[in-house]
Amino acid sequence: MIEATVKSVELRKPYASYQEAFEHMAQQGVKHFGWINSGISVPDGNYTTVYRNYSGSSTLEVDLLKRISYSADMGD
């Protein structure tokens, strides 16, 4: 039997900006599907809010084990 360990994405909180959070995820190989308001289909997952600004106009959601993410803005 082969055993495998999946390393979770590492978070640094708080992130100062959406861009900082996005770049940190990209450095770890997280695939970004795009902005939900552009009509993307988001795969099922256990998403964690990695960054959300005060107004909610930019939010980055990441599945820390599957290493996938999407973004959302107000109203999504």
Give tens-digit pLDDT for 18-57.
Answer: 999 999 999 999 999 999 988 898 999 999 999 999 887 8
Give tens-digit pLDDT for 5-21.
Answer: 778 999 987 999 999 99
Amino acid at the residue 13: K
What confidence tier does 75 reach under pLDDT thresholds 50, 70, 90?
low
Indicate the burial class of 5 (C-beta count within 10 angstroms; 0-12, 13-18, 19 or more): exposed
Q: How many other C-beta atoms lie within 10 A of the C-beta of residue 17?
A: 11
> What is the model's pTM?
0.86
Sequence ranges of the domains in the chain: 18-72
Give the CA distances from residue 51 to residues 1, 2, 33, 74, in Å, rounded to whole numbers and listed in that order: 39, 36, 16, 14
- The dihedral sign for the CA sequence 62, 66, 67, 73: negative
